[in-house]
C-alpha cells in the first residue's frame, strides 16, 4: 500500500502527464502541446517575428513526422518555407518546401506535392561549370548516326514567313530564305512550314525552289486538320511520300505535332495516333530514305502524357518539342510579380527521355516579350531568357541538334503572343548574340568545331581553360558572376554565359573548390555555390 506522500507524488505525475499530452481527432496522441505551440507560432507570424515563429514550427513539425502525421507535417513545412522567404533566406525556404512536397507525397496529396516542388524550384539556387573543348576529341559521344545529324552542334532554323520585314508573300521580294539571314546576320540551315494533310506538296513549290537555291532544308509541320481518320494507307499518302522524295532537299517531316495537348484535333487517342504516325513513317522511309526524316514532336506541356504517344524507335528519326515561354507571375512564390522560371529548364524532360536514343531539337519555340494579361513590355526579361537559352543549351544539353525560332506575333486570340524579332530591336539583338557561336550551324552537313564538357564534380586539365557557367537562383536575371579559388577572386564575367579564363595549371594534382558567386541586377549577391573540381 502506498504511503500518503508517495500517493500524492504519483497523482502529480499522472496529472502532469495528462497536461503534456494533446489528442487530436483520429486518436493520435502527442507528447507535446502541438496546437498550443502552433497558436504561438501563428501569433509570432502576425507580428512579423518570423525567426521566432520558425523555431516553434520546427518543434511541432518534428513531432508530426515522428508520429507519421504527414499531412500536418506538410502544412507546417509550408509555413516554415513562407517564413524563410519573408526573411529572404531562400535556400532555407527551398529546403522547407522540399519537405512539404515530400510529406504531401507520402499520403497521396499529389497536387500539393507538385505545387510545393514548383515553389521550391522557382527559388532553388544551383550552378554548373563547363569548359570549352575541341569537338573532334569527343568523337561520337553525342552522335546517333541519324540522317542530317551533326556529330556536334545544332542546326539553326526559324518559322519566318509571317514576319513582313523578311518575307513578302505577294511579291516574294524579300523571301525569308534571304530576308531572315540578312536581318539576323547569319545563314540558317532550315525553315519551318505548316502544311495541311490532304493537300498536294506542289502547293509549296516556291518554298521548295527557294530552299534548293539557298541551300536550306525544310521542316514540314504536317497537320491532319480533319482528324486522324483522314490518314489512310491510300494513293494520296504514297503520292505525297514520292513528292517528298522528288523535292530533292533535306526535309524534316513533322507529323501531327503537339499531340499531347487538347488544343489539336489529333489529341486524345494515343493508340490511334501511334498507328497513323507509323503509317506515314513507313511511307516516307520507303519513298524518301535519303532526303527525309520522320520527326515526332510533342508540346513541352502537358508532361504527364507525352510518353503515351511515342510511336517507337523504329519509326522516329528525330525527336522535337514545341517550347514556348510567356511571362507568367502567378506562380511567383514571393508574390512580387516576377516570372522566376527558366526557359532552358523546360527542355529537361524531353532531353532526359529521348536524347540518349535520338537526335533531339526544339522544333519551334521562343520567349514572348509581352506579358499578355497586362499588355506590359517584358523585353529585358525575354532577351535575358533568350540569350541564356541559346548560350547555355550546348553546355547543359550537349546532344541537342537543332533550334527553330518562331518569328511571329499573334493578336487574334485573347492572349497576345509576341515573338517577332523585327518588331523588337532589343530582342533581335539578343537573338543575334545568341546564335553567333560556331556551335550553331548554318547548313545541313556542317559540324561544330567546339563542344563543352562539364567540370563541376568532375575533372579539368591543368592548363588555361575557357570556363562558362549556368547559374540559376531566386532572381530571374543576373548582372555578374565571379569565380573564387582559395578565397581569392580569379575571374569575373559580366555577360552570359559568364565566360572567363582560369589557369588551372596552378592547381595541378589537387581537388579544388571553385566558389561561383552570382549577383542580381542591383549588384546584390544572389547566391554563392561551391563546386568541386579535380585538376589532373
Contact of 367 with 382, CB cutoff 8 Å: yes
- Torsional class of 436: left (φ above 0), alpha (ψ -120 to 50), beta (otherwise): alpha
d(CA 255, CA 19): 69
Q: Supply the pLDDT for residue 28.
A: 55
Per the structure block, which three cell numbers stand in for 282?
Answer: 513507313
Beta bridge partners of 196: 223
Backbone angles phi, psi at 501, to 5 degrees: -110, 130
Q: 474-489 pLDDT, tens per residue? A: 999 999 999 999 999 9
pLDDT averaged over 10-residue windows placed end to end, the chain, 536 residues: 40 30 44 89 98 98 96 98 97 98 97 96 97 94 97 98 96 96 98 98 96 98 97 98 97 98 97 98 98 98 97 98 97 95 97 98 98 95 98 98 97 86 98 98 98 97 97 97 97 98 97 98 97 98
Q: What is the CA radius of gyration of the chain?
A: 28
CB atoms within 10 A of CB 90: 23
Which residues lie closer than 8 Å to 84 by C-beta, 6 or more apart? Answer: 50, 54, 90, 92, 93, 96
Q: Are 364 and 406 in contact (CB under 8 A)?
A: yes
Q: How many C-beta atoms lie closer than 10 Å to residue 259's C-beta?
A: 25
Task: Please report where in the chains the cell 529548364 appears, as a residue.
Answer: 345
What domains lie within the chain, and their CATH numbers? Answer: 4-124 (1.25.40.10), 153-450 (3.20.20.80), 452-535 (2.60.40.10)
Q: What angle do CA 155, 307, 259 make, to 5 degrees?
A: 70
Show the CA angle centred on residue 287, arms to residues 281 and 293, nearest 5°.
45
Q: Dig out the grid coordinates for 80 from the structure.
A: 516554415
DSSP letter string, 136-199:
GGGTTTT----TT--SSSEEEEEE-TT-TTT--TTT-SS-HHHHHHHHHTS--SEEEEEEEBTB
Question: Is the preceding peptide bond at 216 cis, omega within 30 degrees of 0?
Answer: no
H or E element that contains 385? helix 379-396
Q: Is 173 exposed, middle or buried (0-12, 13-18, 19+ CB in 10 A)?
A: exposed
Whether pTM exceeds 0.85 = yes
Taking the alpha carbons of 491, 493, 498, 501 in that order, is the dihedral positive or negative? negative
pLDDT in the model for residue 4 = 43
Q: Residue 415: what pLDDT?
A: 83
- pLDDT of 3: 45
Using omega within 30 degrees of 0 as the cis cutoff, is the peptide bond preceding 302 cis? Answer: yes
CA gap 212, 207 in Å, rounded: 9
Cis peptide before 104 (omega within 30 of 0): no
Amino acid at each position: 500500500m502506498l504511503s500518503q506522500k508517495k500517493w500524492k507524488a504519483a497523482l502529480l505525475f499522472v496529472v502532469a502527464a495528462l497536461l503534456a499530452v494533446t489528442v487530436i481527432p483520429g486518436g493520435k496522441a502527442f507528447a507535446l502541446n502541438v496546437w498550443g505551440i502552433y497558436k504561438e507560432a501563428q501569433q509570432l507570424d502576425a507580428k512579423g517575428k518570423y525567426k521566432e515563429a520558425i523555431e516553434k514550427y520546427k518543434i511541432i513539425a518534428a513531432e508530426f513526422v515522428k508520429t507519421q502525421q504527414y499531412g500536418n507535417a506538410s502544412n507546417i513545412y509550408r509555413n516554415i518555407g513562407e517564413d524563410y522567404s519573408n526573411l529572404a533566406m531562400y535556400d532555407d525556404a527551398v529546403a522547407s518546401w522540399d519537405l512539404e512536397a515530400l510529406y504531401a507525397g507520402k499520403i497521396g496529396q499529389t497536387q500539393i506535392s507538385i505545387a510545393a516542388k514548383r515553389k521550391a524550384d522557382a527559388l532553388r539556387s544551383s550552378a554548373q561549370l563547363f569548359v570549352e573543348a575541341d569537338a573532334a576529341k569527343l568523337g561520337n559521344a553525342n552522335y546517333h548516326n541519324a540522317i542530317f545529324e551533326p556529330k556536334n552542334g545544332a542546326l539553326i532554323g526559324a518559322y519566318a514567313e509571317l514576319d513582313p520585314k523578311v518575307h513578302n508573300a505577294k511579291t516574294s521580294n524579300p523571301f525569308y530564305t534571304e530576308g531572315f539571314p540578312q536581318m539576323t546576320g547569319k545563314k540558317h540551315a532550315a525553315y519551318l512550314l505548316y502544311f495541311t494533310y490532304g493537300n498536294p506538296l506542289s502547293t509549296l513549290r516556291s518554298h521548295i525552289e527557294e530552299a534548293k537555291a539557298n541551300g536550306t532544308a525544310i521542316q514540314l509541320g504536317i497537320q491532319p486538320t480533319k482528324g486522324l481518320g483522314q490518314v489512310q494507307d491510300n494513293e494520296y499518302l504514297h503520292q505525297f511520300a514520292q513528292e517528298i522524295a522528288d523535292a530533292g532537299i533535306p526535309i524534316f517531316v513533322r507529323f501531327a505535332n503537339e499531340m499531347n495537348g487538347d488544343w489539336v484535333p489529333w489529341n486524345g487517342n494515343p493508340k490511334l495516333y501511334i498507328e497513323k504516325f507509323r503509317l506515314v513513317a513507313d511511307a516516307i522511309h520507303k519513298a524518301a530514305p535519303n532526303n527525309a526524316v520522320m520527326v515526332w514532336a510533342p508540346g513541352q506541356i502537358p508532361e504527364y502524357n507525352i510518353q503515351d504517344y511515342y510511336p517507337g524507335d523504329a519509326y522516329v528519326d528525330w525527336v522535337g518539342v514545341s517550347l514556348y515561354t510567356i511571362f507568367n507571375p502567378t506562380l511567383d512564390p514571393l508574390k512580387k510579380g516576377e516570372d522566376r522560371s527558366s526557359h532552358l529548364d523546360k527542355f529537361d524532360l524531353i532531353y532526359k527521355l529521348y536524347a540518349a536514343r535520338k537526335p533531339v531539337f526544339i522544333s519551334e519555340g521562343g520567349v514572348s516579350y509581352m506579358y499578355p494579361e497586362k499588355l506590359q513590355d517584358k523585353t529585358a526579361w525575354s532577351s535575358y531568357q533568350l540569350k541564356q537559352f541559346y548560350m547555355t543549351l550546348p553546355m547543359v544539353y550537349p546532344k541537342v541538334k537543332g533550334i527553330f525560332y518562331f518569328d511571329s506575333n499573334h493578336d487574334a486570340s485573347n492572349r497576345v503572343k509576341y515573338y517577332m524579332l523585327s518588331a523588337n530591336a532589343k530582342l533581335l539583338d539578343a537573338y543575334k548574340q545568341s546564335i553567333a557561336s560556331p556551335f550553331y550551324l548554318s547548313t545541313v552537313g556542317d559540324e561544330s568545331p567546339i563542344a563543352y564538357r562539364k567540370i563541376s564534380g568532375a575533372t579539368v586539365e591543368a592548363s588555361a581553360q575557357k570556363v562558362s557557367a549556368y547559374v540559376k537562383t531566386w532572381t530571374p536575371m543576373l548582372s555578374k558572376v565571379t569565380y573564387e579559388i582559395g578565397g581569392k577572386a580569379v575571374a569575373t564575367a559580366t555577360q552570359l554565359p559568364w565566360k572567363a579564363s582560369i589557369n588551372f595549371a596552378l592547381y595541378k594534382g589537387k581537388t579544388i573548390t571553385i566558389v561561383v558567386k552570382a549577383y542580381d541586377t542591383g549588384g546584390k549577391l544572389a547566391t554563392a555555390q561551391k563546386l568541386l573540381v579535380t585538376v589532373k
